[in-house]
Amino acid sequence: MQTLRRHLVWLVVAVVGAFALGTVALTRGESVNALWVVAAAICTYLIAYRYYSLFIADKVLGLDGNRKTPAHRHNDGLDYVPTDKNVLFGHHFAAIAGAGPLVGPVLAAQMGYLPGLLWILAGVVFAGAVQDFIILFISTRRDGRSLGDLVKQEMGVVPGMIALFGTFMIMIIILAVLALIVVKALAESPWGTFTVAATVPVALFMGVYLRFIRPGRIGEVSLIGFVLLMLAIFGGQAVSQSAEWAPLFTFDGKALTWMLVGYGFVAASLPVWLLLAPRDYLSTFLKIGTIIALAIGIMFVMPTMQMPAITQFAQGGGPVWSGSLFPFLFITIACGAVSGFHALISSGTTPKMLDNERHARFIGYGGMLAESFVAVMALVAASCIEPGIYFAMNSPAALVGSTAQQAAQTISSWGFVITPEMLLQTAKDVGETTILGRAGGAPTLAVGMAHILHQVIGGQAMMAFWYHFAILFEALFILTAVDAGTRAGRFMLQDLLGSFVPALKRTDSLPANLVATALCVAAWGYFLYQGVVDPLGGINTLWPLFGISNQMLAAVALLLGVVVLFRMKRERYAWVAIAPAVWLLACTLTAGWQKIFSADPKIGFLSHAAKYTEGLANGVLVAPAKTPEAMSRIVFNDRLDAALCALFMFVVLSVLVYSIKACLAARAANRPTTQETPFEPAGTSAAAAH
């Protein structure tokens, strides 16, 4: 009776959640309020956390609260610090939440909000949160080692090296696609460009202030920085309305690309305290604040979902990205459902600060649920604006034309009725000259956020402010990621190349650092440029590559989980990791195969290249290329992308083979073969620490 009563309240949560999900899924013909979506998501998270994560904690992994964690074993007050679990939750969440959960769901909304919502919920419960939790657990039991080290330790040196190399390539693609989002948002937008450019002197000022004037006063300097940023938004408005200043901050995509490449190189070469660290403070605090503001905004405004639950593009042929629901939806929404990059965080700083092993459930599984909620909010924001506006912003000019008249006509013919006046009015509302061809997620999300937040604060007059606030907030942490990512890539590259040219390995040598930084910037800059000049908008090419690589890293992380469970002799529970790993392998390998070999030139890289080689052979210009040279470049880029895709497939397949071998070996052994740090009881005296 007692146990029954304990579950009663959860039964109520389950019933409410089921009812909300039913309302969202089954209502046809009338708009659904976003609160139903939010309710369905929250109830799903609560039930999953209460039951599934507890099952994983107790039965699958066997978390042991009496086991000493690395934070206690190696306590140094710096890297290894036993930390309150709520405090650590905030740290972990800030590290995993970035642009990913905001962009993917926006792009996926072209199929309607329902497929994306269902994948976000199912994905996080059974794959994403499980991955983060298991990796955090594995790393905590091994002194907080990194993913690469863990793969090396549990599977062998070769798969470890392969995983590291794969991580480097993923990093390059992520940087390119993030930079592309910024370019798409700032092209031909003097307001946005001025505001984002102003963040550089603001950050430099903060850096000097923190270093020399008031060392270490983070809170104070962040407040000053925040006020300056808000002033920069108003300054941007003034610039955009001035006939003399506006042209100075109006650039096309190509010019912005060169600036970003230059910025990436300089920023990654400067001392960290000058630009990177202060920018990081601003972007982290702004990110957390904006996420909370958006959540409050949605609760308060209760917007209705304008986008249909399912559109005709769920069958494929969508204008934002091509391909059918399976497998492409599952790689388009990565972060928010399951993201391999989190495995790097869960095996980074967090495991070194766990106070008690049992906290891994709240921080690993719970942290990912919180990120998933960010993805749900992004989906809501993208779905509560007029669908016609959504498609006008996200469809390439090659499909819908470059004027408001053409775009409105084409999009209305798809069944999303929109007039040219509405498109122009929306552009005016948000303080831009045009909203056409702004694929990439950030501008759409900004319009959605402005749509929600202006109803809370400021009214119609503040809509343009909120739009540029949202653009600034995304650009700010993307630029931080570009800077930090270029540095991280540089270190990886120096490590990799150092095996062949020992001089490059010295991270204290300025020429070696500059060479490695230049190589790194050139690598992502190349893909960025390719994306910017792509007539289909670039996102169509780069986002699938990012999605495939990121989900493949998730598959690698989950396979590591499977191997460790087998080695712990807990293989009867290994399905917890096997099931999502198999699903991710199926999605990514199918998507990779289709991206390479599909006969549809909109999907397949090789058939797209063939279209142009044929044209070259016959001496015909194939639109939108204007010269034979442009055509050969398209062919080269297509082949490069296909090769990259093949490389990712090779990485994941080889890790799969090594995993199976490791599992078979573990099964054959008659005792656990896992390589954990030996058990030490949690209660031993502090004198044991050093």
Residue 533 lies near another protein (rule: CB under 8 A): no
Q: Which stretch binds another protein (CB under 8 A): 9-17, 158-166, 483-491, 536-544?
A: 483-491
Contacts of 309 (CB under 8 A, 6+ apart): 24, 25, 27, 28, 32, 112, 113, 114
Nearer to another protein, 98 or 105 (CB): 98
**Identified binder of another protein from the candidate list 13, 14, 35, 81, rule CB under 8 A:** 81
Whole-number Å distance between alpha carbons of 553 and 556: 5
Q: Is 209 in the site for another protein (CB under 8 A)?
A: no
Choose, by CB under 8 A, the member of 29, 215, 678, 683 that binds another protein: 215
Q: Which residues contact 64 (CB under 8 A, 6 or more apart)?
A: 357, 358, 679
CA atoms of 206 and 319, how far apart (whole Å):
43
Q: What's the CA angle centered on 246, arms 243 and 249, to 5 degrees?
A: 160
Tokens 């494929």 correspond to 316
Q: Is 600 helix (H, G, I), strand (E, B) or coil?
A: coil
Task: Please choose, from the candidates 114, 103, 101, 107, the residue with its C-alpha nearest in 3D space to the C-alpha of residue 40.
Answer: 114
- The tokens for 496 are 């990799």
Going by C-alpha positions, the residue among 619, 643, 641 that lies closest to residue 631 is: 619
CB of 86 to another protein, least distance (A): 5
Q: Which of 48, 344, 382, 453 binds another protein (CB under 8 A)?
A: 344
Query: Residue-wise over 54-74: b if at least 16 C-beta within 10 A, else e?
Result: eebbeebbebeeebbbbbbbb
Closest CB 76 distance from another protein, rounded Å:
7
Q: How far is the CB of 302 from another protein (least distance, A)?
A: 28
The pattern of x and - marking residues 56 through 75 that bind another protein according to CB under 8 A reads: -------------------x
3-state secondary structure of 388: helix
Of 340-348, 354-362, 523-531, 648-656, which segment contacts another protein by CB under 8 A?
A: 340-348
Task: Select from 319-327, 342-350, 409-417, 561-569 the region that touches another protein (CB under 8 A).
Answer: 342-350
Q: Is 684 in the site for another protein (CB under 8 A)?
A: no
User: Shortest approach of another protein to residue 9 CB, angstroms?
Assistant: 16
Residue 497 in contact with another protein, rule: CB under 8 A? no
Contact between 485 and another protein per CB under 8 A? yes
The DSSP string of 72-127 is HHT--SSSS--B-HHHHHHHHHHHH-SSHHHHHHHHHGGG-HHHHHHHHHHHIIII
Q: Is 682 in the site for another protein (CB under 8 A)?
A: no
Among 116-124, 170-178, 237-245, 613-621, which window interacts with another protein (CB under 8 A)?
170-178
Q: Does residue 281 touch another protein according to CB under 8 A?
A: yes
List alpha helices for 209-275, DSSP H.
Answer: 218-241, 253-269
The span from the CA of 164 to the CA of 168, in Å, is: 6
Residue 94 makes contact with another protein by CB under 8 A: yes
Binding piece for another protein, criterion CB under 8 A, among 334-342, 522-530, 618-626, 634-642: 334-342
**Residue 195, C-beta contacts closer than 8 angstroms, at least 6 positions apart:** 229, 232, 233, 235, 236, 468, 471, 472
Size of the site for another protein (CB under 8 A): 62
529 binds another protein (CB under 8 A): no
Secondary structure element (H or E) that encloses residue 2, with its range: helix 2-26
The residue among 168 and 258 lying less far from another protein, judged by its C-beta, is 168
Point out which span in 46-54, 279-287, 312-320, 575-583 binds another protein (CB under 8 A). 279-287
From candidates 138, 298, 492, 625, binder to another protein by CB under 8 A: 492
Stretch that binds another protein, among 44-52, 270-278, 354-362, 498-506 (CB under 8 A): 270-278
Give the CA distances from residue 316 to residues 110, 309, 321, 531, in Å, rounded to whole numbers and listed in that order. 10, 15, 9, 22
Torsion 277-279-285-287 (CA) sign: negative
| Identity of the residue numbered 397 | A
Taking CB under 8 A as the binding criterion, the range among 377-385, 486-494, 566-574, 657-665 that sits at the site for another protein is 486-494
Tell me how far the alpha carbon of residue 433 is from its chain's centroid: 29
From candidates 140, 257, 339, 356, binder to another protein by CB under 8 A? 339
Choose, by CB under 8 A, the member of 128, 160, 319, 348 that binds another protein. Answer: 348
Least gap, CB of 506 to another protein (angstroms) = 14
Which parts of 124-252 fold into alpha helices (H)? 129-140, 147-155, 157-186, 190-208, 218-241
335 touches another protein (CB under 8 A): yes
Asked if residue 150 binds another protein (CB under 8 A), the reply is: no
Of 57, 524, 548, the closest CA to residue 260 belongs to 524
Q: How many residues does the chain have?
A: 690
Apex CA 563: angle with CA 372 and CA 651, to 5°?
Answer: 75
- Show the binding pattern over residues 20-59: x = contacts another protein (CB under 8 A), - = does not: ----------------------------------------
Segment interacting with another protein, rule: CB under 8 A, options 83-91, 358-366, 496-504, 648-656:
83-91
Residues 348, 644: Cα–Cα separation, whole Å: 27
The binder of another protein chosen from 13, 46, 218, 621 (CB under 8 A): 218
Q: Does residue 61 sit in helix, strand or coil?
A: helix
In a 3-state reduction of DSSP, which class is residue 304? strand
- Residues 37, 60, 305, 334: which binds another protein (CB under 8 A)? 334
Strand partners, 67: 681
Find the binder of another protein among 86, 241, 405, 684 (CB under 8 A).
Answer: 86
Are 514 and 533 a contacting pair, CB within 8 Å? no
State whether residue 372 is helix, strand or coil: helix
* Residue 555 in the binding site for another protein (CB under 8 A): no
Q: Compute the least distance from the CB of residue 361 to another protein, in Å.
A: 18
Residues pairing with 304 in the sheet: 33
274 binds another protein (CB under 8 A): no
Round to whole Å and give the CA distance between 307 and 303. Answer: 12
Among 284, 613, 632, 673, binds another protein (CB under 8 A): 284
Report yes or no: 360 and 137 within 8 Å, Cβ to Cβ.
yes
Residue 450 touches another protein, criterion: CB under 8 A? no
Indicate which single residue of 39, 277, 445, 577 sits in contact with another protein (rule: CB under 8 A). 277
> Which of 109, 130, 174, 435 lies at the binding interface for another protein (CB under 8 A)?
174
- Cβ distance to another protein smaller for residue 97 or 606: 97
Question: Interface with another protein includes 569 (CB under 8 A)?
Answer: no
Q: Residues interacting with another protein, by CB under 8 A?
A: 75-79, 81, 83-84, 86-91, 94-100, 171, 174, 178, 215-216, 218-219, 272-273, 276-277, 280-281, 284-285, 288, 334-335, 339, 341-342, 344-345, 348-349, 353, 481, 484-485, 487-492, 546, 550, 686-687, 689-690
